[in-house]
Amino acid sequence: MAIETLGEAYRLSWRVRVRCVRGVVESPVSLKRCDYQAELDMQTLVWARGLGFPLGRLGSRLMCPRCGSRDVNVIFEPPPMARAVVRGLA
């Protein structure tokens, strides 16, 4: 069973994490990679994008709040119990 929408992931208690991969933070003395990371709130995502929003399109709608880069990794995590069941079936 493939999970394809925010609504399906939300109902199954998935978590979503994001990480900036290309941004640069400028300080008065140097430039350094941004590498900002956060966990996003699934309920807020569902409110903002809708139950039917495709998981595969989420990354194209996000921007790093620290550096403004749109190049982000999105990682969806099923709850721990679901991961154990999936491993048992594989």
- The answer as to whether 15 is a domain residue is yes
**Tokens 């495709």 belong to which residue?**
54
As a whole number of angstroms, the distance between CA 79 and CA 81 comes to 6
- Please give the residue range of the domain that contains residue 68: 6-89
Count of structural domains, the chain:
1
Q: Which long-range contacts (CB under 8 A, 24 or more apart) does 33-40 make?
A: 34/64, 34/66, 34/67, 34/69, 36/64, 36/65, 36/66, 36/67, 39/15, 40/16
- The answer as to whether 62 is a domain residue is yes
- The answer as to whether 14 is a domain residue is yes
- The answer as to whether 1 is a domain residue is no
pLDDT digit string (tens) for 46-75? 999 999 999 999 999 999 998 888 999 999
pLDDT digit string (tens) for 20-50? 998 777 777 777 788 899 999 999 999 999 9
- The answer as to whether 25 is a domain residue is yes
Q: What is the pTM of this model?
A: 0.75
Radius of gyration of the chain (CA): 16
pLDDT digit string (tens) for 14-27? 999 999 998 777 77
